[in-house]
Amino acid sequence: MKTTGKQLIRIGHSPDPDDAFMFYALAKKKIDICGFEVEHVIEDIESLNQRALQGELEVTAVSCHAYAYLADPYIVMRSGASVGDGYGPILVCKGDAPRSPGHDLKNKKIAIPGKLTTAFLVLQLFEKNFAPVFVPFDKILDAVKNGEVDYGLIIHEGQITYEKHGLNKAVDLGVWWHEKTKLPLPLGIDIIRRDLGKETIRDFARLFKTSIQYALTHRREALAYALQYGRGISEDLNDRFVGMYVNDFTLELGIKGEEGFQRLMDEAYQCCMIPRKVLLEFI
């Protein structure tokens, strides 16, 4: 490890356009990093969930679901959340979508992108009785096309590319959540380790918000950087996907965003899907 006199912050984020967009200014040193030395750790979200359980990274993106197991060592930053406001993870299938997907999901094999993903948690709130098959998120569309599963639970850019694979939407869980709660659905958040101390936590949270603001202000160049993480999607789809998940809630989660996250934790606890009641704290 280099000795620079600066505080090292290892940041975990997923190899996806929305995360890359948020971290563009930090990755390319477009802003003053305020005495920090930033090291980027880029892995899929389920791997980051597992690393957070070990407390490995000072700052990391995680699923909101995973935070139910991380509230003691980490605190949630108000900036950096991926929130669906009336949209979210979707279930896809081959052929025509069923008229009553809740009923038709019973005992069906569904490809899931990770045990601690928020998508999996929300699906269980929607319908408990199905057979999960855990598949890397970028292999789910193929699993559905090849008939290995009945449905696929899609996150990331697959939410806007599934039709190109000849698949149909059975249900949008973000729509269902909004109809049920009238709240947005937080899916991913960025968290920071409590043992860094209040001053460091506050300073880095402020820096991260500045990074997001820079990307929003310099959207074209940040989108060009993010495109390399889009797994072959077009510039138009890259722009559309980033616009879905880097929005007003990302810059500042706000009251509605916090309420949506707390409601998700409360419902998960009431349904015995997480081990304890979580009272959220934000910085």
The CA dihedral of 26, 31, 32, 36, to the nearest 10 degrees, is -10
User: How much is the pLDDT for 1?
Assistant: 40
* Within-domain flag for 26: yes
Give me the helix-helix angle, 17-27 and 219-227, nearest 10°: 120
Residue 13 is among the residues annotated as catalytic for this protein: no
Six-digit token pair at 199? 């001053």
User: How much is the pLDDT for 5?
Assistant: 64
User: How much is the pLDDT for 233?
Assistant: 86
Structural domain range at position 217: 7-83+185-270
Verify that 190 and 62 share a domain, yes or no.
yes
* Within-domain flag for 2: no
Give the HSE-up count for residue 283: Cα atoms under 13 Å, Cβ half-sphere.
23
Residue 187 near residue 84 (C-beta atoms within 8 A):
yes
Give me the helix-helix angle, 118-126 and 173-181, nearest 10°: 60
Verify that 151 and 195 share a domain, yes or no.
no
Given 13, 40, 65, 156, which residue is catalytic?
156
Verify that 31 and 161 share a domain, yes or no.
no
Residue 264 near residue 64 (C-beta atoms within 8 A):
yes
The domain boundary, picked from 146, 181, 216, lies at: 181
* Within-domain flag for 279: no
Residues of the chain short of pLDDT 50, as ranges, are: 1-3
Sequence-distant (≥ 6) Cβ neighbours of residue 134 within 8 angstroms: 111, 112, 113, 114, 115
* Within-domain flag for 123: yes
The domain boundary, picked from 133, 165, 181, lies at: 181
User: How much is the pLDDT for 98?
Assistant: 62
User: How much is the pLDDT for 160?
Assistant: 87
Distance CA 68, CA 70 (A): 6
Verify that 99 and 158 share a domain, yes or no.
yes
Six-digit token pair at 67? 């935070």
Verify that 42 and 167 share a domain, yes or no.
no
CATH number, domain of 141, equals: 3.40.190.10
* Within-domain flag for 199: yes
* Within-domain flag for 106: yes
Verify that 116 and 251 share a domain, yes or no.
no
User: How much is the pLDDT for 142?
Assistant: 95
Count up the domains in the chain and report the number: 2
Verify that 161 and 213 share a domain, yes or no.
no
User: How much is the pLDDT for 2?
Assistant: 43
